[in-house]
């Protein structure tokens, strides 16, 4: 499998992973703009624009876009995150021209019909309502707000009912002009393809689009906040976490290994200690959410209101214990899990395209598998313990909870328990 990167004269980057064994391909455009890039009166506009991209162009209406893709057995979707918006297709190699044409069409020729704006406004308001009614969705938005209160990173990607209700076509067009330029776009593809051939096709369709003026992102400061919402539920849904920064490939894999051992599976310390040994919850896991200038390392758990503090105490104790040292068999297990996950993901053209895009967005360049595997081999117990210790020393935890009781330990007490071992 060969990775290649090119740049058109207008600044549009094209990255491909050629997979000779593949019989399909995945193509997509990643735009360096997401919820973080919205102004105060634009909460949710990046996500709404993603919806509107499929609702009509100068050459195709919404039904034609969907029908043309599905007539050839293709699949089309999109997503909005805090720092990017992606539009992608999965299709057979003989339909590459169609895929490139549709992606170019929806991103450069969208008409943003008024009737479709009103229809999608209603759809998104329903989507917001569904999220608010789902406690294990809501708690993650509350956690973001607790981490970055007052900053765009702390806002819900969907926006609010009030903000979405006000967007006009002019608002959508302004956001489009501000961010959807060649220098802000990355075209990624993986599967049965030839890089040079794809570059020629993209140049023919997107080589003439202009650039956009990138607006410098404001750095976020850790708020160590606390967001609690009382709901009449059987369980309390809790997320707590600490700030983290990944400055190198070694840091990235040390963090992955830490998450794997701490709360990454059935053999992890949290699963064994919180669920298997004490029966305090059904679902518990740790995760890292990274962005361009920082990130969070956090834990989600659902437990009864009467057992929240016990669960939090065990979680704090296990992270503190990892900071004190990691056993050799744990290191070997973490390395095996990360290595297997990487190699298994390389069997999917969609996963390969997404991973390639994320590498370039986060680190500025693709990372060959040989380098990644070498970095995995170099993970050791001291690096994992050091990562855990760095997290604990990095700040007071942020915390969010949705549940029947809001009586849970203060953030400062949780921080003290992290330092107790």
pLDDT digits (tens, 9 = 90+) for 80-107: 999 999 999 999 999 999 999 999 999 9
For 205, phi and psi rounded to 5 degrees?
Answer: -100, -30
Predicted confidence band of residue 247 (pLDDT cuts 50, 70, 90): confident
Contact call for residues 85 and 145 (beta carbons, < 8 A): no
DSSP 260-287: HHHHSSTTSHHIIIIIIIT---S-EEEE
pLDDT at residue 1 tops 80:
no
pLDDT at residue 245 tops 90:
no
H or E element in which residue 109 lies: none
Mean pLDDT over the full length of the chain? 95
pLDDT the model gives residue 362: 82
Which whole-number Å values give the CA distances from 257 to 30, 108, 126, 377, in the listed order? 28, 41, 38, 11
Per-position b or e across 68-95, b if 16+ CB within 10 A of its CB: bbeeeebebebbbbbbbbbbbbbbbeeb
Tell me which DSSP letter residue 230 carries: E
Q: How far apart are CA 278 and CA 402, in angstroms?
A: 22
pLDDT at residue 16 tops 80:
yes
* Reported pTM: 0.94
Give tens-digit pLDDT for 170-225.
999 999 999 999 999 999 999 999 999 999 999 999 999 998 876 788 888 899 99
Q: How far apart are CA 353 and CA 15, in angstroms?
A: 9
Count of Cβ atoms closer than 10 Å to residue 173 Cβ:
13
- Mapping DSSP to helix (H, G, I), strand (E, B) and coil, where does residue 376 land? helix
Give tens-digit pLDDT for 38-55.
999 999 999 999 999 999
Contact call for residues 280 and 380 (beta carbons, < 8 A): no
Q: How far apart are CA 312 and CA 415, in angstroms?
A: 11
pLDDT at residue 323 tops 80:
yes
For 4, phi and psi rounded to 5 degrees?
Answer: -135, 145
Tell me which DSSP letter residue 394 carries: T
- The stretch 3-31 carries a mean pLDDT of 96
62's CB contacts (< 8 A; 6+ apart) are 54, 55, 56, 116
pLDDT the model gives residue 240: 98
Tokens of 296: 């969070």
pLDDT at residue 421 tops 70:
no
- The stretch 392-410 carries a mean pLDDT of 95
Task: For Cα atoms 130, 131, 133, give the angle at the middle one, nearest 5 degrees.
Answer: 65
Give tens-digit pLDDT for 100-144.
999 999 999 999 999 999 999 999 999 999 999 999 999 999 999
* Cα Rg of the chain (Å, integer): 23
pLDDT at residue 268 tops 70:
yes
pLDDT the model gives residue 250: 86
Count of Cβ atoms closer than 10 Å to residue 42 Cβ:
23
Q: How far apart are CA 45 and CA 30, in angstroms?
A: 17
pLDDT the model gives residue 214: 66
Give the residue from 58, 76, 79 showing the smallest Cα distance to 66.
Answer: 76
Task: Just list the catalytic residues.
Answer: 50
Which whole-number Å values give the CA distances from 144 to 140, 191, 241, 268, 409, in the listed order? 6, 35, 10, 25, 19
Count of Cβ atoms closer than 10 Å to residue 177 Cβ:
12
pLDDT the model gives residue 298: 98
Q: Are strands 85-91 and 236-243 parallel, antiparallel or unpaired?
A: unpaired
**Helix, strand, coil content of the chain in percent (nearest 5):** 50, 20, 30
Tokens of 371: 């380098």
pLDDT at residue 365 tops 70:
yes
Count of Cβ atoms closer than 10 Å to residue 11 Cβ:
15
For 32, phi and psi rounded to 5 degrees?
Answer: -80, 65
Check residues 333 and 211 and name the one with the higher pLDDT.
Answer: 333
H or E element in which residue 11 lies: none
What is the percent of the chain where pLDDT is above 90?
Answer: 91
Q: Which domains does the chain have, with CATH numbers?
A: 2-206 (3.30.830.10), 226-418 (3.30.830.10)
């Amino acid at each position: 499998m060969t990775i290649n990167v090119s740049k058109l004269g207008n600044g549009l980057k094209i990255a491909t992973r050629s997979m000779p064994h593949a019989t399909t391909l995945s193509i997509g455009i990643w735009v360096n703009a997401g919820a973080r890039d919205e102004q105060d009166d634009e909460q949710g506009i990046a996500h709404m624009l993603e919806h509107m991209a499929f609702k009509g162009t100068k050459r195709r209406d919404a039904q034609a876009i969907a029908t043309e893709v599905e007539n050839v057995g293709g699949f089309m979707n999109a997503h909005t995150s805090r720092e990017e918006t992606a539009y992608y297709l999965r299709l057979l190699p003989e339909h590459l021209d169609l895929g490139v044409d549709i992606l170019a069409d929806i991103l450069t020729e969208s008409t943003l019909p008024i009737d479709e704006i009103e229809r999608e406004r209603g759809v998104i308001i329903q989507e917001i309502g569904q999220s608010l009614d789902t406690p294990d969705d809501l708690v993650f938005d509350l956690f973001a707000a607790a981490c970055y209160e007052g900053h765009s990173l702390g806002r819900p990607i969907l926006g609010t009912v009030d903000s979405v209700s006000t967007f006009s076509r002019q608002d959508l067009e302004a956001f489009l002009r501000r961010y959807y330029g060649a220098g802000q776009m990355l075209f990624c593809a993986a599967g049965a393809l030839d890089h040079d051939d794809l570059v020629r096709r993209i140049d023919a369709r997107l080589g003439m689009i202009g650039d956009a003026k990138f607006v410098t992102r404001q750095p976020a400061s850790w708020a160590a906040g606390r967001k609690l919402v009382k709901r009449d539920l059987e369980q309390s849904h809790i997320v707590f976490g600490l700030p983290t920064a990944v400055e190198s490939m070694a840091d990235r894999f040390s963090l992955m290994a830490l998450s794997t051992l701490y709360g990454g599976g059935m053999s992890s310390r949290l699963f064994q200690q919180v669920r298997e040994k004490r029966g305090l919850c059904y679902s518990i896991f740790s995760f890292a959410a990274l962005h361009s200038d920082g990130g969070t390392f956090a834990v989600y758990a659902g437990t009864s209101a009467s057992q929240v503090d016990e669960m939090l105490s065990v979680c704090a104790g296990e992270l503190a214990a990892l900071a004190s040292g990691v056993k050799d068999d744990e290191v070997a297990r973490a390395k095996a899990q990360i290595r297997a996950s990487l190699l298994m993901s390389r069997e999917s053209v969609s996963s390969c395209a997404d991973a390639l895009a994320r590498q370039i967005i986060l680190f500025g360049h693709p990372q060959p598998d040989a380098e990644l595997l070498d970095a995995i081999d170099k993970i050791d117990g001291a690096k994992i313990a050091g990562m855990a210790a760095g997290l604990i020393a990095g700040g007071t935890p942020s915390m969010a909870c949705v549940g029947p009781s809001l009586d849970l330990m203060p953030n400062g007490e949780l921080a003290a328990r992290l330092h107790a071992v």
